[in-house]
Amino acid sequence: MVYMSRIRENDLIIPALRLIAAFGDSEFGLESTVLAKKLREIVRPSAEDREILGGRKDDKLSQVIRNLVSHRTLERKGLAKYRKGTAYTRGAYVLTELGRASIQPTTKD
């Protein structure tokens, strides 16, 4: 996945759903920290995305990924449920039916 301009939160929705489906447990989901790390591994950030944020040690892409989690974007769109519990470090995402349907290949009749 190569981006010519900055990566936006919405650009990460489908990749995040695919990662949750591929690496998450159907009951317990995928921890948000693991999701963030795996998103970072699969996207190819632009030079601007790799710019370090003022007064911080991380880059702009890290902030966008954190926003995906902190804004609860997947949950607000009904694509995943965010669960917290003693088994999670920060919380985990479990796909909803809509989330699973969103990443299914479409078939043509």
Domains of the chain, CATH where assigned: 9-95 (1.10.10.10)
Q: What is the largest CA-CA distance in the chain?
A: 54
| 56 or 80: which leads in pLDDT | 80
**Distance between CA atoms of 17 and 24, rounded to whole angstroms?**
10
- DSSP-assigned letters across all residues of 8-74: -GGGGHHHHHHHHHHHSBTTTBEEHHHHHHHHHHH-B--TTTTSBPTTSSSBHHHHHHHHHHHTTHH
How crowded is residue 69: how many other Cβ atoms within 10 Å of its Cβ? 21
Tens-place pLDDT, residues 5-45 = 899 999 999 999 999 999 998 888 999 999 999 999 999 88
